[in-house]
């Protein structure tokens, strides 16, 4: 391990926010030393990951802001990873509602980082697993991950988080039935946010009915009403999240699926590094001129020769 990367790793484990920010940048952009840093992670499992997802306009950023206020009173040390849509021009994050968390940027117990999706599907960044491993190396109690909010394709968060919060608002009342087949399945806790608005009680009752139907003889998924801007229901939500995390004894099954998919992609990337693309193009051009050319036979023979 290079001396500077080793020192950076030690600083991250000590809770140095500047070192953590630099480590995330190195990994996100695959800068020199990123593989060395990843290979020497210990994974601090004390930090539990809470995913907050839901459709656009559900008030996810405001909810995160309210939870930060609540948990700071309990002396929690928290990281917030906010995944934003990418700018189509430079692939940087469009910060959007991050300004609402501005009061916490200088708080010594709060680390906030915005990530760009860079075209990744599932509502998360393509490097989210590596970045989360870096963040969990620091001494945090909780890591909050707020997703882009693109709807039912955000099921990837269920594999990343120890507890997944699905946030809905009264205006989404007519959408609940369509959510059943996708995002409904990933929730550990439902939040009816902006509960002071008209239609909130109806949405709450619909969700309670759906969770009851889906539970069968099992445990029903909690449904909690909040008004994040008024700080109503936040204490109950915070307690419910911690209670769920305390009861969780094994790694979620979806986490294994997510890690397996990531491992598969890493293997593909490592194998692809051995392929000389210019050589492949040259040999393919020659082979394609033959009458008996077969792309699949050529591919097999090319791989066997590597």
In this structure, the answer to whether residues 290 and 183 fall within a common structural domain is: no
In this structure, the answer to whether residues 68 and 208 fall within a common structural domain is: yes
In this structure, the answer to whether residues 52 and 163 fall within a common structural domain is: yes
Report the pLDDT value the prediction gives residue 224, as an integer from 0 to 100.
96
Report the pLDDT value the prediction gives residue 177, as an integer from 0 to 100.
60
**Pairing mode of beta strands 142-146, 110-116:** unpaired
- For the chain, the average pLDDT equals 82
Percentage with pLDDT > 70 across the chain: 80
In this structure, the answer to whether residues 1 and 68 fall within a common structural domain is: no
- Kindly state the average pLDDT of the residues 284-290: 93
Q: What angle do CA 299, 119, 181 make, to 5 degrees?
A: 95
Number of domains in the chain: 3
Which is higher by pLDDT, 46 or 304?
304
Residues contacting residue 258 through CB under 8 Å, at least 6 positions apart: 129, 156, 159, 160
Is 50 exceeded by the pLDDT of residue 52?
yes
State how far the Cα of 244 lies from the Cα of 123, in Å rounded to an integer.
23
Is 60 exceeded by the pLDDT of residue 146?
yes
In this structure, the answer to whether residues 234 and 300 fall within a common structural domain is: no
In this structure, the answer to whether residues 155 and 53 fall within a common structural domain is: yes
| pLDDT tens figures, 228-277 | 889 999 999 999 999 999 988 776 777 787 778 778 878 887 888 888 88
220: left (phi over 0), alpha (psi -120 to 50) or beta: beta
User: Which of 238, 253, 268 represents a domain boundary (last residue)?
Assistant: 253
CB 88 within 8 A of CB 57: no
In this structure, the answer to whether residues 48 and 133 fall within a common structural domain is: yes
- Count H helices and E strands in the chain, helices first: 12, 7
Percentage with pLDDT > 90 across the chain: 42
Model confidence, pTM: 0.81
Residue 267's domain comprises 259-304
CA torsion sign for 183, 86, 80, 102 is negative
In this structure, the answer to whether residues 88 and 123 fall within a common structural domain is: yes
Is 50 exceeded by the pLDDT of residue 92?
no
- Kindly state the average pLDDT of the residues 202-219: 81
pLDDT band, residue 183 (cuts 50/70/90) = low
Is 60 exceeded by the pLDDT of residue 196?
yes
In this structure, the answer to whether residues 50 and 178 fall within a common structural domain is: yes
pLDDT band, residue 44 (cuts 50/70/90) = low
In this structure, the answer to whether residues 72 and 220 fall within a common structural domain is: yes
- In three-state secondary structure terms, 43 is coil
- Kindly state the average pLDDT of the residues 155-170: 84
**CATH code of the domain in which 73 resides:** 3.40.50.300
In this structure, the answer to whether residues 235 and 93 fall within a common structural domain is: yes
In this structure, the answer to whether residues 129 and 97 fall within a common structural domain is: yes
């Amino acid at each position: 391990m290079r001396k500077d990367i080793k020192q950076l790793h030690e600083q991250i484990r000590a809770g140095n926010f500047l070192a953590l920010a630099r480590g995330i940048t190195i990994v996100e952009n695959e800068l020199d030393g990123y593989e060395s840093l990843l290979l020497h992670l210990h994974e601090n499992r004390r930090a539990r990951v809470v995913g907050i997802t839901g459709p656009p306009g559900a008030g996810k950023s405001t909810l995160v802001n309210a939870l930060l206020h609540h948990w700071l009173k309990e002396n929690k040390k928290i990281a917030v990873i906010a995944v934003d849509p990418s700018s189509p021009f430079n692939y940087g994050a469009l910060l959007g509602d991050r300004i609402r968390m501005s009061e916490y940027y200088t708080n010594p117990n709060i680390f906030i980082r915005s990530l760009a999706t860079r075209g990744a599907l599932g509502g998360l960044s393509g490097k989210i697993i590596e970045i989360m491993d870096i963040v969990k190396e620091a001494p945090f109690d909780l890591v909050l991950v707020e997703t882009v909010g693109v709807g039912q394709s955000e099921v990837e968060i269920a594999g990343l988080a120890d507890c997944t919060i699905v946030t809905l608002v009264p205006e989404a009342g007519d959408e609940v039935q369509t959510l059943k087949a996708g995002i409904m399945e990933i929730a550990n806790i439902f939040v009816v946010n902006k509960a002071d608005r008209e239609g909130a009680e109806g949405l709450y009752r619909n969700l309670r009915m759906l969770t009851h139907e889906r539970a069968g003889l099992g445990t029903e998924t909690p449904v909690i009403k909040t008004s994040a801007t008024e700080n109503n229901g936040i204490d109950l939500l915070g307690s419910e999240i911690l209670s769920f995390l305390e009861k969780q004894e094994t790694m979620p099954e979806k986490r294994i699926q997510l890690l397996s998919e990531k491992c598969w992609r890493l293997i593909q990337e490592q194998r692809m590094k051995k392929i000389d693309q210019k050589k492949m193009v040259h040999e393919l051009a020659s082979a394609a001129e033959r009458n008996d050319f077969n792309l699949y036979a050529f591919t097999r023979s090319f791989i066997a020769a590597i």
